[in-house]
Amino acid sequence: MHSFLLLGTEVLNCLSRVLKLFKLTEFKSIVLPLFEEITWSEVKKRIVKEKKNFTIQSLTDLLINQVKRLEVDDLLGRLHNLQLLEKSVHPERVIWKAVSLEQGEGRFCTKWSAKFFQQELKRKCTTNNLSTVIQVIHRNNLLWIMVVVKKVVHNRGIQLGRPTYLAFVPLDKYLFFACGATNTLLNAVKETFGADNIKECNLSGRDIKSLYQMLKNKENSAFNTRSVVLDNQKFSHVVHPERCLHGLDFSRTNDRRRYIKGLLGDNPPVVQSLKIEVKNCRWQAKHLVRGIDMKLSSTVTLTAPNIPDMIENMATTGALRMPAPHFISQYCHLGKNLITLRPAEEHEGSDIVF
């Protein structure tokens, strides 16, 4: 909510919009526990009595009607709890960026409860001259954090900024934040944990579980994350499906699919963007034009709701040349959205083959 909080109706409107972000099947187990004024049995009786359809709109109207007489501060608390809960239930609706908390020489604690962390973060924000509203919950093995910065505007009261969301992996060093987190806020989080500094991971996406998987793969991997060398995989030449007596023969297409699945592995991490950068590579076709001895750099960015599915579709439709480039099987081990390709031995002048 970005407007000045002068009327309770403004808070109720925001509360109504957040409620509509939940699915119908989520109201009973997720939303209703925040509304102690009414039970699920009473909700069903009211819907039937008023002869309304069982929809998100009717449930929202019913819940709003239950809390509309509360004080503005109580409504705000309900709104902030619901906003954070919605992000923890639907994290895929925003882009998350990953950073790493680097341990310093002093205290570095990641075992705190949600309530204690909320108090500590509030204290650190105050120390950094940030007047904030902070909510912290523990859900799905993550610590979910929402921070709303308050500003006092002369003659107009208090203004609340847009919420900033963060997710932290307990007992680990990785922190994920939605776009919009300021350096001041990240520093407050860093100081709360007693970390020495924050290191950017150059990794972003909608699936926090996949992002965390990529970061852990990088920790346990022997791949060189600074340079990936192209290498041809063993694969028999595949042509398009041929017509036969009983229709199209898709056996070769299925071979492509099995081949790509073998490269990516089971349940590969899902990202929405993958940038492939080529640096200082000699022009492969230089023998066609005499006198040219130049090096080229280029960047290709792949964007899709699911990059592994995109790669598989490109392979099965023939858009990806076989054998597939070696980096296809390595992207999930690099811990970032960027793959940098370089010649194997630049000092020997070897060419890289695309």
Quick: pLDDT tens for 303-326. 999 999 998 888 888 888 777 777
Q: Which of 206, 230, 257 is the last residue of a domain?
A: 206
| Closest C-alpha to 200, from 336, 99, 97, 337 | 99
337: three-class secondary structure by DSSP? coil
Q: Which of 174, 206, 238 is the last residue of a domain?
A: 206
Are 227 and 312 in a shared domain?
yes
| Residue 181 located in a structural domain | yes
d(CA 37, CA 28): 14
| Residue 2 located in a structural domain | no
More confident residue, 4 or 264: 264
| Residue 250 located in a structural domain | yes
Are 217 and 290 in a shared domain?
yes
The domain containing residue 258 runs over which residues? 212-348
Q: What is the pTM of this model?
A: 0.81
Residue 326 has a pLDDT of 73
Average pLDDT, the chain: 80
| Closest C-alpha to 346, from 289, 281, 296 | 281
Are 225 and 251 in a shared domain?
yes
Are 241 and 344 in a shared domain?
yes
Query: What average pLDDT score do residues 246-268 get?
Result: 77
Are 85 and 97 in a shared domain?
no
Decide if pLDDT at 277 tops 50.
yes
Are 39 and 60 in a shared domain?
yes
- What pLDDT digit, counting tens, does each position of 140-163 carry? 889 999 998 887 766 666 677 889
DSSP assignment letter at 170: T
> Which tokens hold the place of 125?
């924000």
State what percent of residues in the chain have pLDDT above 90.
Answer: 34
Neighbours of 140 (CB within 10 A): 11
Helix axes 56-67, 40-49, angle to 10 degrees: 110
Q: Which residues of 172-192 are buried (b: 16+ CB within 10 A; e: fewer)?
A: ebbbbbbeebeeebbbbbbbb
Residues 6+ apart with CB under 8 A from 170: 110, 111, 138, 141, 142, 143
> Which tokens hold the place of 115?
């309530």
Are 116 and 194 in a shared domain?
yes
| Residue 144 located in a structural domain | yes
81: three-class secondary structure by DSSP? helix
| Residue 3 located in a structural domain | no
Decide if pLDDT at 349 tops 50.
no
Are 234 and 342 in a shared domain?
yes
Residue 353 has a pLDDT of 35
Decide if pLDDT at 4 tops 80.
no
Are 321 and 297 in a shared domain?
yes
Query: What average pLDDT score do residues 253-272 get?
Result: 85
Are 66 and 135 in a shared domain?
no
Residue 20 has a pLDDT of 95
Are 151 and 61 in a shared domain?
no
- What pLDDT digit, counting tens, does each position of 88-115 carry? 999 999 999 999 988 765 455 666 788 8
| Residue 138 located in a structural domain | yes
Do residues 177 and 96 lie in contact, with contact meaning Cβ atoms separated by under 8 Å? yes
When pLDDT is cut at 50, 70 and 90, the band that residue 177 belongs to is very high
| Residue 330 located in a structural domain | yes
Specify the number of domains making up the chain.
3
Are 199 and 243 in a shared domain?
no
Q: Which of 172, 206, 240 is the last residue of a domain?
A: 206
Q: What percentage of the chain's residues is helix, strand, coil (to nearest 5)?
A: 40, 25, 35
- What pLDDT digit, counting tens, does each position of 23-69 carry? 999 999 999 999 999 999 999 999 999 888 999 999 999 999 999 88
Residue 25 has a pLDDT of 92
| Residue 1 located in a structural domain | no
Decide if pLDDT at 238 tops 80.
no
Q: What is the largest CA-CA distance in the chain?
A: 87
When pLDDT is cut at 50, 70 and 90, the band that residue 352 belongs to is very low
